A and B are shown apart, each in its own frame.
Chain A
Amino acid sequence: MTERTAPRSAAVVPEAGVALAEPGPPVGEISGRTFVQRGDRIFHGLATGSGAFVVALIGAIGVFLLIQAIPPLLVDHANFLTSREFEAGDPTNLRFGILDLLLVTVEVSVFALLLAMPVGLGIALFLTQYAPRRVARPFGYLVDLLAAVPSIIFGLWGLFVLAPVLQPLAGWLQYHLGSVFLFSPGNVHIDGATLFTAGIVLAVMILPIITAISREVFQRTPRAHIEAALALGATKWEVVRTTVLPFGRSGYISASMLGLGRALGETIALTVILAATPQIFTGSLFDGGATFASKIALAFAELNNNLSAGAFIAAGLVLFVLTFVVNATARAVIARSGAHP
């Protein structure tokens, strides 16, 4: 694709020049140049404007979150970062901390990512390297369609259909691996309303993101690299390992990070699936709880004063920062892996 687009864009410029030059060669040359310069300026302005707009937008969101979050933080009677309680209903006695929200959010998202990454990689490799073209295209659409399913549907499916099916597996894990904190019996007693179910549903939800981007990247592996590997007698797997994977690694990582961002912010599916619990989060996948986003969604309908709302916005601010950190880390990883291909 890279090779294909590069010559095409190169071809556009002379074509336009020729077209403009046609009416009258001497005058046209000058007017053509001024046209190009003006078009250049306008396009430059538009591009810069778009870039500045998105920065301004993110900045405005950050400032809004900060302004709304500061008043409740000042009257918070609990430690915002280390407290596990979140009592924001009474504006005169706010006690809210984000520790449990943070832990639940991170655990469920990382669990989902661990499930989705290998599967996404497999699908992307299958579609680009193994599947015949006739199969690859419709199959690719199918995966993309997963992204078109509304998240409330994923949530209801997870709670009503998937959770009962997972129950035997969950029981088996708790029985055999219960001594590991991840699989210890949880703190909720509604069957299946756990991080385990939620994580699997999230994995399905982020799969199309990881797959779609990885597929595009793998497709761009230079033909010459692949042919060179084949000429050296490499098998299909060796071709993938020595050319496709190194070439697509940074793309695959950023695809996964985009998926993680989606998982961190997913709201409705988790609101529906996860059971709330007054107990603290033990770290088990069979716990209930709430993520940043689902906590906000649960309280949103009945918020009636700025301080209570601000407490939830403060939680949202932490999610904002968390997503930012995740993306920055991903960039750093990509930059480093790009340095040693």
Chain B
Amino acid sequence: MTLQRYGAVLALAAAGALLLSACGSNPNAGASGGSSSAGSPAVDCSGKKNLNAEGSSAQKNAMDVFIQAYQQKCPGSNVAYNPTGSGAGVKQFTAGLVDFGGSDSALNSTNGETTAAAARCQNNPAWNLPMVFGPIALAYNLNGVSNLTLNGEIAAKIFSGQLTMWNDPAIAALNGGVALPAEPIAVVFRSDDSGTTDNFQKYLTAASKGAWTKGAGKKFTGGVGSGAQGSAGVAQAVSSTEGAIAYVELSFAQDNKLGIAKLDSGSGGVALTGDSVGKAIDGAKISGQGNDLVLDLTATYANPPAGSYPLILATYELVCSKGYDAATATAVKAFLTVAATDGQANLPAAGYAKLPATFQQKLLTAIAAIS
């Protein structure tokens, strides 16, 4: 009798698990087109068959795309990417437990991360390679408004509660010809700590001309609104709440068919497109030395190139410049090369921006220099 009972429970659990796995959507399915591989360099598949990597969850879907491309290029090879968060990525990489890490912020030299990473790489410097760029959308749900333009200053005032009505003259001034309803603004933020929040708040700090005084960090500090868990939760909350606005990765805004605001960085509203994001990436200043491609996104946020959409999140792959054993080095190089070339085609469908050609070249140079 007890056996039967457990059997029934097990059967249900198994059925449930099957159902769930069947529901897991494949973000890459059906996506195609686009050509990015500018003179694809040769890929040496003879390295270690299984790589381990861990870190930022922001690049999880991009990693899935890359791994798929890698397996096509190098049948039998695999990368296990564990999206446990940037902090864990840095920790596991510096501890030598994974072959490369993923992090939404570059290794920090002031708290010893750089030194620890160098020690892990047999006293060779570790490099930060910004491989994945995710545009952050200002997603809104406003009845009858399909075209909204904001700028850093207005966004800062909205997300800190200084502007509370959609028909506020300050917003209307940016949106000539758009009938803004007299509705309260409902701010939605990420309730879990995330790199998206951190980058958004850095953007507000840099681009708001002093209107954002709340600082940055992985926790939302605006002091208004309601929080929802995860990007999916945020997008869902916006779609179910009239008058809501949130910052969320592009793919989630698209999936929920939310309005996406244009950003006016001084010369008119710029829509979030692959092109406008590419311009922002191209214009990003590199503050690292040589092949250590640490980006100074703050400069991009404050003074974006003309026609660019500057609100982007960069995720770095943390790799050793030297100090891998030969098999690992070959595999890491092969994977990153595929990611920077063949892997780019399916990125937009997963909600990320493709690498612009010049930036791609810089990355490929750095990847080729790993030994």
Q: Which residues of A contact B (CB under 8 A)?
A: 87, 89-90, 141, 144-145, 148-150, 153, 159-160, 164, 188-191, 193, 271-272, 275-278, 288, 290, 297-299, 301-305
Contacts and interface: CB of A to CB of B under 8 A. Distances in A.
Contacts of B8: 141, 145
Contact of B226 (A89, A193, A303, A305): A193
B189 interface: yes
Q: Chain A: interface secondary structure? A: loop
B186 A275 contact: no
Interface string B2-21: 00010011001100100000
B12 A276 contact: no
19 contacts: A89-B218, A144-B5, A145-B12, A148-B12, A149-B16, A159-B233, A159-B236, A275-B226, A275-B237, A276-B226, A276-B228, A278-B220, A288-B226, A288-B227, A298-B191, A298-B193, A301-B85, A303-B85, A303-B87
B57 A148 contact: no
B223 A278 contact: yes
B106 to A, nearest CB: 14
B57 A301 contact: yes
Nearest to B223: A278
Nearest to A304: B87
B55 to A, nearest CB: 11
Given A275-B227, A302-B193, A141 B5 contact: yes
B-side interface size class: 35 or more
Interface in B166-222: 186, 188-189, 191-195, 217-220, 222
B9 A144 contact: yes
Given A144-B5, A301-B193, A304-B90, 15 more contacts: A89-B218, A153-B16, A159-B233, A159-B236, A160-B236, A188-B226, A193-B237, A272-B233, A275-B191, A276-B229, A298-B191, A298-B193, A302-B195, A303-B193, A304-B91
Contacts of A278: 220, 222-225
B358 interface: no
Nearest to A140: B5
Contacts, number: 101
B240 interface: yes
A190 B12 contact: no
Contact of B228 (A87, A190, A302, A304): A190
B254 interface: no
B241 interface: yes
A302 B90 contact: no
Contacts of B87: 301-305
A210 B176 CA distance: 61
State the main secondary structure of chain B at its contact with A.
mixed
B166 to A, nearest CB: 14
B243 to A, nearest CB: 8
B66 to A, nearest CB: 21
Contact of A276 (B5, B88, B186, B191): B191
Contact of A190 (B91, B217, B237): B237
B84 interface: yes
Nearest to B191: A276
B170 to A, nearest CB: 21
Contacts of B219: 87, 89, 299
Interface in B109-131: none
Nearest to A142: B8
A148 B13 contact: yes
Contacts of A305: 87
Contacts of B186: 189-190
B308 interface: no
Contacts of B84: 301
A153 B225 CA distance: 26
A191 B194 contact: no
7 residue pairs, one from A and one from B, having the closest CB atoms: A276-B227, A304-B87, A276-B191, A301-B85, A302-B193, A188-B226, A275-B226
A302 B192 CA distance: 9
B86 interface: yes
A193 B188 CA distance: 12
A89 B198 CA distance: 11
Contact of B241 (A150, A190, A290, A304): A190
Given A153-B16, A189-B186, A275 B228 contact: yes
A298 B191 CA distance: 7
Nearest to A278: B223
B240 A190 contact: yes
Nearest to A272: B229
A89 B193 contact: yes
Contact of A191 (B16, B85, B225, B240): B240
A190 B191 contact: no
A303 B227 CA distance: 19
Nearest to A273: B229
Contacts of B193: 89, 298-299, 301-303
Contact of B192 (A160, A275, A299): A299
Contact of A271 (B16, B86, B229, B240): B229
Nearest to A277: B226
Nearest to A138: B8
A302 B85 contact: yes
Q: Which of A148, A272, A304 has the most chain B CB atoms inside 10 A of its CB?
A: A304
B85 A276 contact: no
Contacts of A189: 186, 225-226, 241, 244
Nearest to A192: B240
Nearest to A275: B226
A190 B5 CA distance: 40
Contacts of A297: 192
A302 B218 contact: yes
A92 B189 CA distance: 25
A294 B229 CA distance: 10
A189 B141 CA distance: 13
A323 B189 CA distance: 31
B232 to A, nearest CB: 10
B192 A193 contact: no
